[in-house]
Structure 1
Amino acid sequence: MTMLTVDLDAEADLARCGALKDFWYVACLSTELPANKPVARTVFGTGLVLFRGPDGAPTALRDRCLHRNARLSQGDVFDGRLGCPYHGWVYDVSGAVVEIPALGPPQRGEKLDAHACTHEGLKPAPCDVGRLARFPTREQDGLVYVYLGKDVTQARAEPFRVPYWGERGWTVYFMVTRFANGVTNLVENFMDVPHTSFVHRGWFRNPTRKRVPSTVKRHAGRVRMTYHQEEDALTGLGRLFNPRGLPLVHTDEFIVPNVTRVDYQWGDSGFAINSQCTPIGPTDTWVYTAISYRLPVDVPGAWVGRALTPLVRWYTRQVIQQDVRIMETQRQGLTDGPGGGMYSSTEADLHHADIEAYRRWLREGAHGPGPEDAERDVVFWV
């Protein structure tokens, strides 16, 4: 048994998270960012305001007016510009102040000259005020990403592509969930089979006391778990995707620093659950989950997949809420006095140890080559 430590506080602190910030993080769904309304988000403890500029592209600025520090996310968007709710200062997509209503049509002080303004610590005109911090954004696959690192040209990876997005025969929808826990604990939960027999009993998997041989591969910033069990007894909607009883191909994968992908495949049908975690604080995280599914080809028409979406949405929401509750239960234990974040692990947790090794390496600055590649066989029971 090995004792492992996870520092959730440092992982979610922009000043202490090391290279964890050098990746793109989901800020919101594209549909959550309309043309006429700003959206507030907190990433790595930093308040951001997102809005769409004149061309419809998303912009992310520091959510704090330069005037009296009011939250700009409580303001208005007009003509692709953002207005402060307190005194109406207007910002463009570069973060520059372009209008100060209190200065009237001249848009500069009328009585005090530049020398007097400097003496009193005042600014003569909007162009002298300065700019808000601006963060690079990217929009793809129905998601808006933001980058908080120092140099976007040095980003360690491109934004993650949603599995099967836009592919014929596949239905894709999103679930957005706020979890009361940190990113490391969440990604471990999302690719953890043993907990499903307890947390999701009757909904996804029941205890069967079956031996599950598996292979854990750690390579190039990824941890892939392959399960050598073709007859995994999934309950619930799992039966809908495999009416012919075909062998199951089940893999779980972690992609640094915050992404998981879980695939269940039966022949030409199956589903993929892709979750991207955005840290708000040490034990507060937004999770953007893309559910991609395809029914067997002998089901008549893609419309059937779309028609089933409300049922699949309802089912997956019930399962995710079970994870929300158990993650809250874990958080309560983590924060109940000293010692939280020290974990005891066994062979069944090898892939979790690999995840923690990658995230610890990134948090400490990603110096050197990082965790070495490895491939090992393990066994656990469910």
Structure 2
Amino acid sequence: MDGYLGIIVIVVVVALLAAGGLFLLFRPGGKGVPPAPPKPPVEEKREEAARPPAREEGEGATTTVPPPAPPVVVPPPVKPEVEVPPPSAGRMVRLRARLARSQNALGKGLLELLSRDRLDDDAWDEIEDTLITADVGVSPSRAMVEELRTKVKVLGTRTHEEARGLLREQLLAQVGPDMDRTLHTAPHGERPAVVLVVGVNGTGKTTTTGKLARALIGDGKKVVLGAADTFRAAAADQLQTWGERVGAEVVRGPEGGDPASVAFDATDKGITDKADVVIVDTAGRLHTKTGLMDELGKVKRVIEKKATVDEVLLVLDATTGQNGMRQAQVFAEAVAVTGIALTKLDGTAKGGIVISVQRELGVPVKLVGLGEGADDLAPFDPEVFVDALLGD
């Protein structure tokens, strides 16, 4: 009996111990069973790949994750295709009809006056006024009238053709057919010819520079452009566009930089690239305390450290008439102008500006702008010009 009671006591003690252990294990604040270690990243990815796509609301609808968008590729700027310009020879002949349409009012008016049966003093005064109105200038107009009066007295009766011949002879004499209008663009051995383009902004100076480069490239020459009008950012951008169109290198500097430095670098680039011609576009306004004359003189002197300045082209707007003469004289004093580029000649009936500007400055008109097209800059031909004035 005692043995049986002993066994019962042992069982009760064991049961109490077991119950106490369970209580300690699961009481609030207990540690509990330690968590399972995290799965490695590879296993997580495999589980996500194997997991079916989530269902949306509605029977059978599923949501798929779209693929990532491809990166946006910005195409490089497309350079304009390099053009092959036509040669400059014969351009003025081809543009004669355009010139005649805008200029022959002068010629027709003079021919009508000269073809009258009777030429009295009033008629000669009218002829002189017509010439002055066409910007021929007072002195050249008077000289022409005197010559015409003498010839008419000698010839007596005049037909229309005789009057035309007399007027053509006088106009041609005033335009100056014997003046040297050669544009000096031949290189000197390994050094390129340098053309300095000057003039007031608004006359078409930068456009004339670009058109001249185009004409020279059409003649088979290699050209470098210098954007030395650093005070006008639009001038450098405009010249850059002209250069890209015909494959001419353009040297430019920072906005507001030293124009002489740009001119020097352009000349140096021309020598390095074995170019035939360097054309330098200069500023047309007063920007520095030293003055425009000093600035242009400095540009020319700096260029001459590397090469010879063969041409100094003064760009004039034909529509300004006599008002542009003072501007022309200022530039002529600043640098030794060798030739004139007369722009917008197709847009004015005052073609006599060719005569007056040559007489005032003593330098020939070498180039004329006869339109807004890229190939409308032409070497000046006195005979073609006079014939266009008089019409057919």
Q: What's the TM-score, normalizing by structure 1?
A: 0.24
* More strand by percentage: 1
Q: What's the TM-score, normalizing by structure 2?
A: 0.24
